[in-house]
Structure formats: C-alpha cells, structure tokens
Structure 1
Amino acid sequence: MPITLEAAGRVRLPRRVAALVAVGAARALTRLSPWRLRRALEVVRRGARPATAARALAARSAVVSVSTRCAGQQCLQRAVATALLCRMAGQWPDWRTGVRTEPFRAHAWVEVAGEAVGENEDVSLYRVVFSVPASV
C-alpha cells in the first residue's frame, strides 16, 4: 500500500520548535498502554480551555510540517502531538481513537465542536474507543 504524506506549509521557528517538542513527547506517550496514554492525556488536559477549530488546525499543520511520521500513517502520534501543541497554548481539543470493522481499521484524531480537524477520512465510520474531551 503506497503511503501518501500530507502537504505541509512553512512554520515559523518558535512554532516549529514547539511542534518538535510536541512530536517528541507524543512519540514517547504513544508507547504507553492505551489506558495509561488516556490517563496521561487527562492529566495534561487539566485547566485547559476548549480549543478553537483554527488553533487545532494550526497545531495539526505544524505537527505534520515537522514530522514525516506524523504526515504519514502515524495517526496516533499525530493526534497526540496536535493535542499537546494545543495544550501549550492553553487549549485542548477533543482527542479520540476509534475502530471500524469493514474493513477493519483503527484511527486517532482530534475534534472541535464535534467536527474532525484536518482529516481526509470520514471519522463517523469509526466507533470511539478512547476519548479525552476538551471539557468534562
């Protein structure tokens, strides 16, 4: 199966550094078990305001611009890094992971106000398994 990378724009240096930190932290966090990952993200989310669609999209764009892994098939690392980068700005999107059966696939993404941010895939086909919403 060919891998297509998402197109990425230029990101200014301070934002680029923050995105690299988020991507590195996300890579470490995605090695945790799903339950520990969700718990870690719940702790990080504390005190954050709900993210705006513009902030979440800008964070996602910055993440895919600094990481070929995140621009490719690493949706879990991309979603975690996007959420962490939003958190650095005091905001948090809804972070989700889900599965579908026909064909079987797993996916991770972020949402704002019920809308997936920057996704080319129809996430309504997925049953949400884990979620760290913006507000509790």
Structure 2
Amino acid sequence: MIEPSLHAARGPVGAALLDLATGRWTLLDPIAATLLDLPAAGAERDAAIEDATARWAATGAAPDRVRGDLTRAAADLDRLRAGRPVHQSPPAPTPIVLFAPAARPSLRDRAAAGIGLAAALLLLRAVPIRHVVTVARLSARLPGRPAGVREAEAVLAAVRTAGAWWPGRVACLEESLACHLAAALTGRRVRWVLGARFAPRGAHAWVETGGHVLGQDDHDRPWPYLPVLTISDSNA
C-alpha cells in the first residue's frame, strides 16, 4: 500500500507541509525550514545541523538556541515523515489575484456547479483528504482544455450561486474543489491549489487559471499564500 504523501513548499519566511494522511498542516520558521534539505537522523544530519547553526550564528543568532531549535524540530519532522518522502513544490511566481468574479454563468455552468458542489460537499465530509485529492486528480484527466479567465470566473460564480442555497457552510475548500470539479464537467480545467500563509498562520484553498487566482477576498492584497499542493492536468 502506498503511504499518503507529504507535500511541502518553501518561501522567504519559512516552509509549509501538508500531510495527506491526516490533512494537517505544519508550518516551519526559516531556521527549521532548512531541515527539509537535511538527511535522515544520524551523523550526517548532526554535521548538517552544526553547519546550519554556524551559518545562522554568522547572522547574529545565538548558536545554542539555533542548535536546540534545529534538533527539536528535526525530531518532530522525523516523527511526521515516518520514512515517507517529502514532495517539495518548486518556487512559484507571484500570481495575479482577481476578486469578485464578474462573468455571468451559462445554464451549463450552473448545472455543472450544482453537481460539482454536491460532489465536493459529499467528498469532504465522507472520506479522508487523501481520497479527495485522488478524485480531484482523476477529474483533471477528463478530456478538456485549460479554462480562460472569464470561463473560470463564470464557473466560480455559478458555484457561489449554488452554495447560497446550501444550509451549511461553504468555505474555501468546498468552493474551490467544487469549481475544479465543475470546470472539468464542462470540458475545461482549472488548477486546484492548497496552500498556507505564515502571518497570521492559516491554510487556504483556491483555483487558478492562466496565472490568475480567482475570486479572492479584497484583504488578500498582496497575495500572502504559499502554494503547497497543486492539482491540474500536468500533475494529475
């Protein structure tokens, strides 16, 4: 059996890890983030920790504190990894962030949005996140083409209209997954992205197309999130 994977991404203020076995996030500060590049426990890693300690001490950090923080964080990371590989996302360019979608959905968009939202709500409430990701990857393999920005905004607007009829909460995870699934049903593809921010700490889910992040809140200027796991036709 394949173990649910760990996904990580590094940014200028640290690293974020998503454990698909549990759906939990771990955020590392810049010092602890260097552990992602270190070998497993042993003499080689001890030497790497000493090297990292010396580098940080050269910037004015207290060596004993850096060494202690790295040693404790390394032990925590070992327990988290449990021998599993960590899939690190390459650095991503800063996206163009769009806010309230302006496009008007067609009847086809509305029908697909209803199905996509129902599927997203069922999946996220009934199965672990690793299985949700599997379904999202499978949907990215459906025949289709990348959605244009206006097309993707129309699907997102249709999902939000459908979500207004749902008596429960439709948060970013449900909404973005529903948009990803609905777009696939209409023969178009958007990228479903799971990521995190560091200040304040929090996780987020969104959809992208053509280098644009769609339908975000106005207070997310500039874009604060680090993409950790991206589902699209290129990595399905």
Q: For 2:160, give the aligned amino acid.
A: V
Q: TM-score, normalised to structure 1's length?
A: 0.79
Q: CA deviation at 1:30?
A: 1.9
Q: Which has the larger radius of gyration?
A: 2
Q: Does 1:17 align with 2:111?
A: yes
Letter in 1 for 2:110: R
The answer (yes or no) to whether the contact 2:101–2:156 under 8 Å persists in 1 is no
Structure 2 counterpart of 1:91, which letter?
Answer: R
Work out which structure has the larger RCO, using CA pairs closer than 8 Å and 6 or more positions apart in sequence: 1
- Corresponding residue for 2:229? 130
In 2, Cα distance between the equivalents of 1:80 and 1:90?
16
**2:159 matches 1:63:** yes
Query: What secondary structure does 1:30 align onto?
Result: helix
Equivalences for residues 1-136 of structure 1 within 5 A: 14-31=108-125, 32-46=127-141, 47-68=143-164, 74-120=171-217, 121-122=220-221, 124-136=223-235
Report the Cα distance in structure 2 between the residues aligned to 1:115 and 1:9, rounded to whole angstroms.
Answer: 15
> Which runs of 5 or more structure 1 residues have no equivalent in the other structure?
1-5
Moved more, 77-86 or 31-40: 31-40
CA distance in 1, matches of 2:158, 2:205: 17
Q: Percent identity?
A: 29
More displaced 10-residue stretch of structure 1: 109-118 or 124-133:
124-133
Q: Cα distance, 1:33 vs. partner? A: 2.4
CA positional deviation for 1:88: 1.2
Alignment correspondent of 1:3: none
Alpha-carbon distance between aligned partners in 1 of 2:135 and 2:158, rounded to the nearest angstrom: 22
Q: Against the structure 1 CA distance between its residues 124 and 9, is the aligned structure 2 distance closer, same or farther, given a 3 Å change threshold?
A: closer
1:59 corresponds to which letter in structure 2? V
How far, CA to CA, are the matches of 1:8 and 1:54 in structure 2? 8
Which residue identity does 1:57 align to in structure 2? E
Residue 36 of structure 1 and its aligned partner are, at CA, apart by 1.8
Q: How many residues align?
A: 129
SS at match of 1:128: strand
SS of residue paired to 2:216: coil
| TM-score, normalization by structure 2 | 0.48
Gaps of 5+ in 2: 1-99
The question of whether the paired residues in 2 share the 8 Å contact of 1:116 and 1:123 is answered with no
Aligned-residue RMSD, C-alpha: 2.6
